[in-house]
Amino acid sequence: MSNSLYVTADLSWNEKTRIALQKAPNKVMYVIASQTLDRAIPIIPMSTKVGGGTLRKTTKAYSVKKSSDLGYHLCSNTDYAIHPYLMNDSSTNWSTINTHSHWFDKTWKEQHETIINSSVNQNKI
């Protein structure tokens, strides 16, 4: 003879909770992209073109763009952004102190844990 107790339960979400759960991953991904952009802004080089700061300004203005159901992309929306992005930091004499190439990658590599934790906490259900 067994002393086991069998319990069954039926879980059903109310409509508001179901919708919130479905939207949560998308919201978290948006915040991750936004925070990565915000934290990268100070290390994006300024443009040497007329109207200095064009690269940094246009990157911030371009903001976060949706690229798929759960994806967002960050980019610097200028013709020349790819050139400074790919430059070698050790051989480049940046005109703006404390700026770097690969600004999105560098920011993510150094701050991804903080960005993820903050994004998840901001979107708790």
- Model confidence pLDDT, tens digit, residues 112-121: 999 999 998 9
Tokens at 12, concatenated? 């059903």
Q: pLDDT > 70: what percent of the chain? A: 92
pLDDT digits (tens, 9 = 90+) for 93-108: 888 889 999 999 999 9
pLDDT of amino acid 58: 87
- pLDDT tens figures, 55-74: 888 888 888 988 877 689 88
- Does the pLDDT at position 5 exceed 70? yes
| 49 has a pLDDT exceeding 90 | no
- Does residue 85 surpass a pLDDT of 60? yes
Alpha-carbon span 65 to 58, nearest angstrom? 13
pTM: 0.79
What is the distance, to the nearest Å, from the Cα of residue 55 to the centroid of all Cα atoms in its chain? Answer: 18
Nearest to 95 by CA among 58, 53, 59: 53
